[in-house]
Structure 1
Amino acid sequence: MGEREELVETLDKHRGLLRRTTRDLTDAQAAERTTVSELTLGGLVKHVAAAEARWARFMTGGAEAIRGRDGEHGPDDQEAWAAQFRMVEGDTLAGLLAEYERVARGTDELVGSLPDLDLAHELPRAPWFPPGTAWSARRVLLHLIAETAQHAGHADIIRESLDGAKSMG
């Protein structure tokens, strides 16, 4: 197995853990806050899908492909930014999971088609990125793995608080 396949396989493992936390839930349960944070299971799926889609665009188009109207990383509209972390009217868990699956397939196909994982772009201007730093496609994939794993852990805590179910065990 090559590097690309290993990276995609690892990312997919963590995607699966996140999806597993939503098994057998209703839309109302997926939208329920069970901790002091704003996070919900549906909101986490929605956020991770949106983040993965942005980073996939970055791998081929650089910061321009993910830049907001104000030139900064992320949207100008703070309400729209916050809405990506929660289920809003019209969102269903099935729809969010289907979108996540569509994004994941697209990322996997992109990784297989890239000429080189060393292809790099300068990161967008944002307080959390050092100015002038560039990330390769490889680094982006490592970031996606870390972010997906972190949010799968958040999801496991939320699910356990919701009804005692765990994604593992």
Structure 2
Amino acid sequence: MTTSERVLTDERADLTQTLGRHRGFLRQTVRGLTDEQAAARTTVSELCLGGLIKHVAITEERWAWFMVGGAEAMQKQPVDWAAAFRMTEGETLAGLLDRYAEVAARTDELIATLDLDASHPLPTAPWFEPGARWSARRVVLHLIAETSQHAGHADILREAIDGAKTMG
């Protein structure tokens, strides 16, 4: 049974619906753009809209790996973080959105099935408290915050392209 066939209630439904809402804001921001527009840097930042979609998908996937297998699983594949924020040769907005949808579906399935109290030590990084652990629930809350933050970034970038706004 997939998440779309299962009726989630309570906390799992709240988490899945909230994450889905913010994913939707991010997807809505890129609606109707060409690949060239999605790859364009519209501010002094290195960010582009396609790169934000790519980054959020990579980040969500890695945190899903963490929920299942901890920091070691999260770091099982190296990432070129600079390239993760831009569209590279051969990438299309449609392809990045498809990949994001695949990652989102897998994450939603984890939210529906994982023990939300299960936790793992965080990877060693200067932005994490040494020795801290995050539960699957805490990871999902982080994904909501990360997705929401980047949806806001995307809204600014889109407005610089053609004046369109996700909200407002």
Shorter-chain TM-score: what band? over 0.9
Match of 2:82 in 1: 82
Which of 45, 51, 57 is residue 59 of structure 2 equivalent to?
Answer: 51
Does the aligned pair in 1 maintain the 2:62–2:75 contact within 8 Å?
no
Which of 9, 16, 23 is residue 17 of structure 2 equivalent to?
Answer: 9
Matched residue type, 2:157: I
Identical residues among aligned pairs (%): 68
Mapping for residues 60-71 of structure 1, pairs under 5 Å: 60-67=68-75
C-alpha displacement of 1:66: 1.5
C-alpha displacement of 1:8: 0.7
Gapped regions of structure 2 (runs ≥ 5): 1-8
Does the aligned pair in 1 maintain the 2:50–2:96 contact within 8 Å?
yes
Aligned length in residues: 160
Measured against aligned partners, the alpha-carbon deviations of 1:106-135 in whole angstroms (never above 9, x if no partner) come to 000111111x21100000011111110000
Match of 1:39 in 2: 47
Match of 2:133 in 1: 134
Matched residue type, 2:49: L
Matched residue type, 1:40: C
C-alpha displacement of 1:17: 0.1
Q: Which runs of 4+ in 1 moved over 2 A?
A: none
C-alpha displacement of 1:67: 2.2
Matched residue type, 2:137: R
Match of 1:145 in 2: 144
Does the aligned pair in 1 maintain the 2:49–2:157 contact within 8 Å?
yes
Per the normalisation by structure 2, the TM-score is 0.92
Gapped regions of structure 1 (runs ≥ 5): 70-74
CA distance in 1, matches of 2:97, 2:81: 19
Per the normalisation by structure 1, the TM-score is 0.92
Match of 1:118 in 2: 117
Matched residue type, 1:16: G
Does the aligned pair in 1 maintain the 2:51–2:86 contact within 8 Å?
yes
SS state of the match for residue 135, structure 1? strand
